[in-house]
Amino acid sequence: MNHSTELYYWRKQRPALKANHRVYFQNIIEELLEPLYTKETVKNYTRDICSRYYPAHMEPIDDEAVLDSINDIEVFSINEVELMGYDNDKCMDETVKEISSRKQDPIQQELWFKSGYDGTKWMKDINQDPSTLYKADYNRGKK
């Protein structure tokens, strides 16, 4: 199975998710900052950056501009993984296993089930049994 298919099934398990450029932007900023700062600092910086550079009234120019940006980010990311000496496909396998093992915050899940997706970021269940979580082993992707 390829990664697009795996992620299709991942989304099917989270049917409330919808395309949301603001949440996407927030997720990208958060991921860019994670290796550099503590979780709390990342949350604060992400909130500040998003409110400053992506105000609530701002909408993307068009889908083509969004797709161009997303695909450029993907190209940069794949190239960086490969230049670091890892097989991108094997590393992505590990990432998909990890994110697929996570459960949604039960309160948010119930709200989304009753009222539908509210445009907020998908939240992890902080009380999930740690033994049910898969931790990506990127050494499996080392070339």
In a domain, 9, yes or no: no
The reported pTM is 0.80
Say if 119 falls within a structural domain: yes
**Does any domain span residue 19?**
no
Residue 128: inside a domain, yes or no? Answer: yes
DSSP string covering 47-70: HHHHHHHS-TT---S-HHHHHHHH
Containing structural domain, residue 138: 85-143
- Determine, yes or no, domain membership for 101: yes
Tally the domains of the chain: 1
Q: Is 124 helix (H, G, I), strand (E, B) or coil?
A: strand
Please write the tens of the pLDDT for every residue from 8-60: 888 887 777 788 888 888 889 999 999 999 989 998 888 888 888 877 777 76
Q: Which residues are within 8 A (CB) of 123 and not within 5 positions of it... i.e. 6 or more apart? A: 104, 105, 108
> Is 136 part of any domain?
yes
- Domain assignment of residue 138, yes or no: yes
4: its two tokens: 């697009």
Please indicate, yes or no, if residue 11 is contained in any of the structural domains. no
Residue-wise pLDDT tens digits, 48-96: 888 888 777 777 678 888 899 999 999 999 999 999 999 999 999 999 9
